[in-house]
Amino acid sequence: MALEADGERGGDMVALKRTGRPGPEYIEGGWQPQLERRVLAPLAGTGPRYFLWLAFLIAVIGWAGFAYLQQWRRGLIVTGMRDRISWGLYITSFVFFIGISHAGTLLSAILRAVKATWQMSITRMAEFITVVALMVGALFPLIDLGRPDRLWNIVVFGRWQSPLLWDLLAIATYLTGSTLYLYLPLVPDFALCRDRLGPQAPAWQRHFFEIVALGWRGTPEQQRLLEHAMTIMMVVIIPVAVSVHTVISWIFSMSLREPFNSTVFGAYFVAGAIFSGIAAIIVLMAVLRRLLRLEAYITERQFVNLGFLLAALALIMVYMNLSEYVTTGYKMNADTAVHFQQLMLGRFAGLFWFYIFGGLVVPGLIMLFPRTRTIRGVVVAATLVLVAMWIERYLIVVGGFSVPLMPYQPAQYAPTWVEWSILAGAFALFALIISVFTKLFPVVSIWEVVEYHQLEAATAVHRPRHGRDRQSAREGTAAVPVTVLAQEATQ
Amino acid sequence: MNEISCRFSEPTRRGLLALLALAGAALPMAAQAQTALAPTAIGIGVPSQAQLGQLIPLQARLVGVGGVPIPKATIYFTSPTTFLNVTGDAVLAEAVTDAQGLATASWRATRTGGLTIQAEFRGDDRYAPAKAAAPLVVGGERQLYVQQVGVRIPALNTAPISGLPILARLWPGLSAWPIAVALLVVWSLYATVVALLWRIAAAGRSVPAVAQLPSLTAGTGSAEGAEVQQ
């Protein structure tokens, strides 16, 4: 089988053997039909555990809805926020979700732009994280408003000079662009679903794929147009993604608060967003890989490569923190002294040092040693980074507001059950949309993986290194893109 | 440390003490001679009514005996004010009199109501102080605070061509053009992509429909499907 023979993909087999389950090479047929079956199988059948999982998520969201109803009726007094600390868990989570939305599209676009083929099987998940995280993250400013009916005031009375309005425009632009960028490579896979799911599939599903496949037949003209569209989006989405988190950082750094008074905030926020976004992709990859049994297509190679990116971003974050704290600490005006005292020695010290060591140092060390540089190690590192980056946003928001603007005692903030419930509901909503997505769309970009295999096989034909590679090349050339398969079927 | 000492004979000491006593008696007399200052008179000229935010001209004329103008004298224009239970004269402006004894200044009215404007000469070593007052009623309603923070960059946050009142008036609304241009470029590219999708759909219509491929839910797919159910 091609996978077995592929010298560079030895990790695949290791991963397969670790799971103790039979991989695609044990199922009848070539690797491509197996890939299609494996990836499209969740769309064709659903077990009771899936519905139990959905019921659990809906219950959590329902509880969050009840909590929000309390806030709607009684106002923000039911939260721990007051006049001195008026941003809390909601804005923390807003920045966090917008942050993890970054890696998806941005990473996918950058890796596509540099023609990194190893990421072909994970781009779909990465792009989907972007859209879902943006949808969930954008809810938090509305929740934080207390009076969401006043949202219209931003449209009517919004000032172009305000970073809040820039933020609204940037997020709307990014969400639209990310949705387009997610949709484009889905078109050939939608066509595959349309052609493969068969008459047993529910009528709504067949109609749905018929519409969203846009009559895709894989003709050269259609492929050319799709490639053109993807190139445009690939180029435009990178600056848009960077602009979104830069603008979010400006909401902080353009206000007159000492802890936010920083020139590196834009770059710091963008780096932090990519950092947490990569971690989110790794965790989601691990979960879907296990649940959908995609071990053969999402391999140790993808985890380790993303782990290296994570480690590189950890170093950048260390540099940013150092640059920020050393320059402000060297001058150490009165407000900075209060901020540093609270952050490093006072009430935020536990969280701060967890962020530094748990979020930056330990993940870097995990990736440093080959012994820990495994799928499990990378997932542990990514989980640490996710938790630490949420804490980092909490420290920026609540820690920033905890420095008094006038000579009074620093205010205290403790989130209430309403805030925690709404936060839990947001995470449940995030998981719910992704769970539903796995039943509506292929989580792996089948046609891109096929093309990647073709490319590798062709390379192996031209430069055979040993017997296993030659065998791989022969089998690889036998594999044809889905689009070609579809055309053949018409003959 | 060396002590510096000075020794006088007894007659010299007595003579010096007598001299000091004489000088002490003469000094108050000299001071009294200086308090005999020339009288002055001051007149104030302010409009009786003004609009809020208007730049108000303040004039005062300082003359001496016989109406002789007093030049180079500092005149303070003040207004009685109470702030946080402290009452006093707030200085609005100050000016120096010219050869005709005329001091001219201006002041922008920042609150409405009836005010008292005073012109005050505080006196000097030759002239006695003088003070005059006049009422002023400030009316109207307008927003006085105008944001003027930051650098004015022509074509960015101020009109690109000065001297055109219409452009100057319109520019605050047009100053967001960099944001508008960025949005226009990005959304135009989005529109291009949507148009390409439209063309993909159109290109598909010219190709015969694909025959149904083997179904995932039939044959070997059924076992597979059951296996991967979550």
CATH of the domain at B116: 2.60.40.730
User: What is the domain range of residue B184?
Assistant: 149-205
- How many residues would you count in chain A? 491
Query: What single string gives the DSSP state of each residue in A28-48?
Result: SS-HHHHHHHHHHHHHH---H
- In which band, very low, low, confident or very high, does the pLDDT at A29 lie, cut at 50, 70 and 90? low
Angle at the Cα of A142 (from A136 to A143), degrees rounded to 5?
Answer: 85
Lowest mean pLDDT of A38-42, B85-89, B106-110, name the range: A38-42
Residue B230 lies in a domain: no
Domain shared by B57 and B93, yes or no: yes
pLDDT at A17: 31
Per-chain mean pLDDT for chain A: 82
DSSP letter assigned to residue B4: P
Is the same domain home to B128 and B154? no
Domain-embedded: residue B8: no
In this structure, the answer to whether residues B87 and B109 fall within a common structural domain is: yes
Dump pLDDT digits (tens) for A340-370: 999 999 999 999 999 999 999 999 999 999 9
Residue B89 lies inside a defined structural domain of this protein: yes
Single out the residue in B139, B169, B194 at which a domain terminates.
B139
B60 and B119 together in one domain = yes
Whether residue B51 is found in the same domain as residue B121? yes
B189-224 burial string, b = 16+ CB within 10 Å, else e? bbeebeebbebbbebbeebeebeebbbbbeeebeeb
**Do A195 and B210 count as a contact with CB atoms less than 8 A apart?**
yes
What's the pLDDT tens digit per position in B15-54?
Answer: 777 777 766 666 555 555 556 789 999 999 999 999 998 9
Which of A104-108, A297-301, A364-368 has the highest mean predicted lDDT (pLDDT)?
A364-368
- Please give, rounded to a whole number of angstroms, the shortest distance from the CA of B185 to a CA of chain A: 9
pLDDT at A466: 43
Place of tokens 């721990």: A80
More confident residue, A150 or A198: A150
What CATH number should be reported for the domain whose range is A46-403+410-441? 1.20.1630.10
B218 within some domain: no
The number of domains in chain B is: 2
Check residue B26 and give its pLDDT: 60
The pLDDT score that the predictor gives to residue B210 is: 53
Give the residue extent of every domain in chain A. Answer: 46-403+410-441
Same domain, B153 and B196: yes
- For residues B58 and B116, the answer to whether their CB atoms sit within 8 Å is no
Q: Binning pLDDT at 50, 70 and 90, where does residue B158 land?
A: confident
B27 falls within a domain: no
CA–CA separation, A207 and B81 (whole Å):
80
- Per-residue pLDDT band for A478 (boundaries 50, 70, 90) equals very low
Q: Which of residues 138-177 of B touch A (CB under 8 A)?
A: 175-176
From CA B135, how far away is CA A285, in angstroms rounded?
A: 80
Instruction: Kindly determine whether residue A176 and residue B204, on different chains, have CB atoms separated by under 8 Å.
Output: no
Mean pLDDT for the stretch of residues B179-206:
92
Nearest-Cα distance to chain B for A271, in Å, is: 23
Q: Do B186 and A45 touch (CB under 8 A)?
A: no
Asked if B220 and A169 come within 8 Å (Cβ–Cβ), the reply is no
Is the residue at B17 inside a domain? no
The reported pLDDT for the residue numbered A490 is 32
**In 10 A of CB B143, how many CB atoms?**
7
- Using an 8 Å CB-CB cutoff, list chain A residues near B217: 44-45, 197-198, 200-201
State whether B133 and B101 are in the same domain. Answer: yes
Instruction: Give chain B positions within 8 Å (CB) of A195.
Output: 210, 212-213
Is residue A300 packed enough to be buried (19+ CB in 10 Å), middle (13-18) or exposed (0-12)?
buried
pLDDT the model gives residue A7: 33
ipTM of the complex, rounded to two decimals: 0.80
Residues A423-453: tens digit of each pLDDT: 999 999 999 999 998 888 888 888 877 777 7
Examine the domain organization and report whether B167 and B186 are in the same domain: yes
| Nearest residue on chain B to A44, alpha-carbon basis | B217
Q: Is residue B26 in a domain?
A: no
For the segment A121-130, the average pLDDT, to the nearest whole number, is 84
3-state DSSP call for residue A382? helix
Global pTM? 0.69
Q: Three-state DSSP class for A367? A: helix
End-to-end CA distance of chain A: 27
B230 close to A (CB below 8 A): yes
Chain A nearest-CA distance from B169, in A, is 16
pLDDT for the residue numbered B184: 95
pLDDT of A21 over the 80 cut? no
Q: Are residues B56 and B123 in the same domain?
A: yes
Same structural domain, B68 and B108: yes
Q: Are residues B45 and B128 in the same domain?
A: yes
Q: Please report whether residue B31 resides in a domain.
A: no
